Amino acid sequence: MGITSAIVLFSVIWFMVLFVLLPLGMRSQGDEGDVVPGTQPGAPAEFKAGRMAKRVTVIAVVLWCIIAAVIIYGGLTVRDLDWFGRMGPAPLSDSESGG
């Protein structure tokens, strides 16, 4: 895996984790009973972007390490995910075919 692929993979994982974690534990201004004039009642009451970014980054790094290790060391292939047998048998390599 090249450096560009690693950066793109990390970015995708980071944003996926961000969008999963954003609604968790969020309290709206309507829930708190203190709606700031000019805002929607569903707006967050307290949003700490730095704290959220740290959490997302830690989780994304762990996931990235796992996924990158699988990609680099080849422990999992596309054929391993073919549960319905749609890909057919794996082709023989030159050494296996006797050629």
Q: List, for residues 47-96, the tens digit of each pLDDT value.
A: 787 888 999 999 999 999 998 888 888 777 777 788 887 887 777 766 65
pLDDT score for 95? 63
pLDDT score for 20? 93
Say which DSSP state 80 is in. Answer: G
The count of domains in the chain is: 1
pLDDT score for 4? 93
**Pick the residue with more confidence: 19 or 84?**
19
pLDDT score for 96? 58
Domain that includes residue 63, residue range: 3-97
CA distance 79 to 85: 9
pTM given for the model: 0.68
CA distance 21 to 43: 16
Rounded to an integer, what is the distance from CA 47 to the centroid of its chain? 22
CA distance 21 to 29: 19
End-to-end C-alpha distance for the chain, whole angstroms: 31
56 CB burial (10 A radius; 0-12, 13-18, 19+)? buried
